[in-house]
């Protein structure tokens, strides 16, 4: 039963990682879209240049958020598989 308690704690920590990761993904996509709209409205940039600049700016935060969410999902799967093998 002690293993089940530890798995439950791991799942709750992993859930925090998953939530933070997906909130970060949403934040990066929304901010990139708003920045793209703002840049596309300026005379100095055309539509494609504005997209390239905004995509380059959100690439690292988006990648980091996806990695964080993936770590959370992997931790949840690890906890589930550990408990299922122990029974």
The Cα 59–Cα 29 span in angstroms is 10
Give me the pLDDT at residue 29, please.
96
Range of the domain at 78: 9-86
Q: Is residue 1 part of a domain?
A: no
Q: Is residue 3 part of a domain?
A: no
Hey, how many other C-beta atoms are within 10 angstroms of the C-beta on 28? 20
Confidence (pTM): 0.83
Q: Is residue 4 part of a domain?
A: no
Q: Is residue 79 part of a domain?
A: yes
Q: Is residue 31 part of a domain?
A: yes
Q: Is the pLDDT of residue 87 over 90?
A: no
Domain count, the chain: 1
Q: Is residue 36 part of a domain?
A: yes
Q: Is residue 57 part of a domain?
A: yes
Q: pLDDT tens digit string along 16-74?
A: 999 999 999 999 999 999 999 999 998 888 989 999 999 999 999 999 999 999 999 99
Burial of 29 (0-12, 13-18, 19+ CB in 10 A): middle
The Cα 84–Cα 78 span in angstroms is 10
Q: Is residue 2 part of a domain?
A: no
Give me the pLDDT at residue 86, please.
78
- Contact 15/74 with Cβ under 8 angstroms? no
Give me the pLDDT at residue 1, please.
65
Give me the pLDDT at residue 25, please.
96
């Amino acid at each position: 039963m002690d293993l089940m308690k530890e798995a439950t704690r791991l799942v709750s920590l992993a859930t925090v990682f998953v939530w933070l990761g997906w909130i970060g993904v949403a934040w990066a996509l929304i901010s990139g879209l708003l920045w793209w709209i703002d840049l596309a409205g300026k005379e100095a940039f055309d539509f494609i240049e504005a997209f390239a600049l905004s995509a380059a700016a959100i690439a690292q935060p988006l990648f980091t958020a996806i990695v964080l969410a993936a770590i959370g999902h992997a931790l949840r799967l690890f906890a589930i598989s550990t408990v299922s093998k122990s029974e």
